[in-house]
Amino acid sequence: MTEPVRSATSATIRQIREALCDAPLADRAAHLAKLDGATLDVLVVGGGVTGAGVALDAASRGLRTGLVEKGDFASGTSSRSSKMVHGGFRYLQTGDVALVRESLRERRRLHRNAPHLVDILPFVIPLLRRDGIVNPRLFRAIGGALWSYQMAGAWRLGRRHKRLSARETIQHMPSLSADDVGGGYLMHDLRADDVRLTLSVLASAAEHGAAVLNHAECKSISAFGPGGRTIRVRAEEGTFELRARVVVNATGVWADRIVPREKGRAAGRLSPAKGVHLVLPAAKMLNDTAISLPVKRDRRTVSVINAGPFAYVGSTDTAGGSAADTPCIDASDVEYLLDGLNQHLREPVSIDDVTGGWAGLRPLLGEQGRHRSADLSRRHLVELEAPGFVTVTGGKLTTYRAMAEEATDLVVGLLDLKRRSITSALKLTGHADPTEFRHGNRVPSAATLIALDDRLAEPLLPGNETLLADAVRGLHAEMGLHLADILLRRTRLGTFCGRVVLADIARIGDRIMDWTDWSRVRKDAELQHARDVLTRELGALAAPLPTSAHSRIPSPRHT
């Protein structure tokens, strides 16, 4: 007989909350109390990495700062990126050297300020044969571009690019068809868990005095008057108002929806681009580096990025339309990525091999319908749209800090203050202990929680290293308000193993929610909500995996 599962007692849950209470995002009620009825210097609307960066920059300059986010922190673009902190090598193709230099500068700063969040990502650019021959001019062109990349600032990472033979290139991804590969180059960039980065920036902002709140929608912004604007916010706990001398709109692709009363309508400067990534077991790809592969049908490239026991391939680049709240993975996205990948593999993969994936929208600057999304600018925009109303949008994960500094410089000027940014050298929360990768040392480790109750050492999926402790930490230390928040962002089970999680969501969800004081009615509602969210986001992947694929799904714990 199997031993019955013991339920967490209220005393144990209380002990866990006490162990986690000093984490900067643990006390939601305190953050809410600081916002309700407050008078702030600046309110940031949008809890992605850019909004988090503005909150940190403003709070670290001594401004009374608040942030509200309609959904979960990082629930938009900031959890759906390629998870690369890159210098923009491909932007050299368009001659945008200034953007490359800025990206490389910000890459170096993030590497220095958040060693617990980023690590070096080797990247292979294979050179493929055409009619059995590799064009020597292509070798020279790529090599010359890589030297330009080094001169633009890539050398600061301490790694130089290297030319590879065909054999060396294949060794980095043995699943490639050897007949096609004529050589390649090895370069280096950085990778980061985009959600972990966003949460760390928010925690750092909270440590500097900012009040931050997720699941708190900005419902209205009054006309500008003496003392600024009145903002009405609807949080899960109820509706409240606050005053802010300046409002910063950092809602990314949804920036045109946040409009102050006197402005009337948005400018319509954004052309959202949809990007989809698919997740496969690493055993199918066998790549020990990231690798870039051309897609023959449209002259684009996709990357296969190694992520521990996983590899993910992406991304697509199509028009995002009207920026739906939750973009999903369409059948055409799956077909495009698998076809592009299979062109180069010895053994093709199919949709039955895909364990998960994600679809995101990039906030690209440009008029909708006028250009291919691949041709639109990755630069950012900071603009005073109305008195006391600043919008920051565009850009990319790597340059979030520079965008935030520029936006806060404008805020400080509007407030007639002279306070310089310190974030270029500001260590993010947890930097003192790089060994506690992803969470940092301000959030107690999984081992600390397991010492309170050994059941927390159990994996959430069989054969998987994502522990119950990871989910419980997200619930009680990181404002994980809903089950979907835990599955998709505090852990990445719903992203990397989404198809298995969806099939087993009742069991997984109940195990997580056993460590809350939620009623059975709420638990049932949370299960249904999480099921609906995963089904919608997985889209064409929502169909169950074949039983044979369930035997051992690897872990997303250290991706």
Does residue 6 belong to any structural domain of this protein? Answer: no
What pLDDT is stored for residue 549 in this prediction? 56
What is the number of domains present in the chain? 3
Instruction: Give the contacts of 355 (CB within 8 A, at least 6 positions apart).
Output: 279, 280, 281, 310, 496, 497, 498, 499, 500, 545, 549, 553
Q: What is the pLDDT of residue 411?
A: 98
- 415 assigned to some structural domain: yes
Please report whether residue 260 resides in a domain.
Answer: yes
CA 296 to chain centre: 29
pLDDT of residue 394: 86
HSE-CB for 212 with a 13 A CA cutoff: 35
Tokens of 238: 């109820």
Task: Specify whether 73 is located in the same domain as 203.
Answer: yes
Q: Does residue 487 sit in the same domain as residue 412? A: no
Do 385 and 531 belong together in one domain? no
Query: Residue 497 has which token pair?
Result: 């193993």
Residue at 411 is within a domain: yes
For residues 410 and 465, membership in a common domain is answered with no
One digit per residue, pLDDT tens: the chain, 559 residues?
344 456 778 888 999 999 999 999 999 999 999 999 999 999 999 999 999 999 999 999 999 999 999 999 999 999 999 999 988 787 777 777 888 888 899 999 999 999 999 999 999 999 988 766 777 888 888 888 888 888 777 777 778 889 999 999 999 999 999 888 999 999 999 999 999 999 999 999 999 999 999 999 999 999 888 889 999 999 999 999 999 999 999 999 898 888 776 665 555 677 788 999 999 999 999 999 999 999 988 878 999 999 989 999 998 888 766 556 678 999 999 999 999 999 999 999 999 999 999 999 988 776 544 444 444 445 778 999 899 999 998 888 999 999 999 999 999 999 999 999 999 999 998 755 443 444 444 456 788 889 999 999 999 988 778 899 999 999 999 999 999 999 999 999 999 999 999 999 999 999 999 999 999 999 999 999 999 999 999 999 998 777 655 544 555 544 4
Q: Do 258 and 282 reside in the same domain of the chain?
A: no
* Same-domain status, 355 and 486: no
Residue 110 within a domain: no
Across-strand partners of 67?
44, 212
Assess whether 417 and 491 both reside in one domain. Answer: no
| Residue 281 CB coordination number (10 Å) | 18
Residue with the two structure tokens 């950085």: 190
Angstrom CA distances, 284 to 162, 175, 218, 311, stand at 26, 8, 44, 8
Residue 66 lies in a domain: yes
Give the single-character DSSP code of 460. S
**Segment holding 186, helix H or strand E:** strand 181-192
Asked whether residue 300 falls in the same domain as residue 264, the answer is no
Written as one letter, the residue type at 174 is: P
The position carrying tokens 């520029």 is 406
Are the beta carbons of 523 and 475 closer than 8 angstroms? no
The angle at the Cα of 52, spanning 45 to 482, to the nearest 5 degrees, equals: 75
Nearest to 108 by CA among 91, 86, 83: 86
For residue 521, the domain's CATH number is 1.10.8
Task: Give the pLDDT of residue 282.
Answer: 94
Among 316, 332, 362, residue at a domain's last position: 362
In this structure, the answer to whether residues 302 and 279 fall within a common structural domain is: yes
Q: CA-to-CA distance for 319 and 338, rounded, in angstroms?
A: 20
Instruction: Dig out the tokens for 71 from the structure.
Output: 């959904």
The CATH number of the domain holding residue 218 is 3.50.50.60
Whether residue 251 is found in the same domain as residue 383 = yes
Structural domain for 538, as ranges: 455-550
What pLDDT shows up at residue 326?
Answer: 78
- CATH number of the CATH domain containing 339: 3.30.9.10
Q: Is 4 inside any structural domain?
A: no
The answer to whether residue 126 sits within a structural domain is no
Q: Which two tokens stand for residue 242?
A: 């606050």
CB 494 within 8 A of CB 453: no
Instruction: Decide which of 309, 337, 362 is a domain's last residue.
Output: 362
Close Cβ partners of 47 (under 8 Å, ≥ 6 residues apart): 67, 68, 69, 71, 72, 73, 74, 75, 198, 202, 212, 214
Do 258 and 384 lie in one domain? The reply is yes
For residues 217 and 239, membership in a common domain is answered with: yes
206 neighbors 24 (Cβ within 8 angstroms):
yes
Cis peptide bond prior to 315, omega within 30° of 0: yes
Q: Which residues does residue 300 pair with via DSSP β-bridges, in sequence order? A: 295
Residue 444, classified by CB atoms within 10 Å of its CB into exposed (0-12), middle (13-18) or buried (19+), is: buried
**Which among 37, 28, 108 is positioned nearest to 73, based on CA atoms?**
28
**CA distance linking residue 85 with residue 337, whole number of Å:** 22
Give the CA-trace dihedral at 53, 56, 61, 63, to 10 degrees.
110
* Alpha carbon distances (Å) from 86 to 272, 294, 345, 364, 413: 21, 19, 26, 17, 31
pTM for the model: 0.92
What residue type is assigned to position 200 of the chain?
A: S
Going by their DSSP bridges, the two strands 216-221 and 84-85 should be labelled as: unpaired
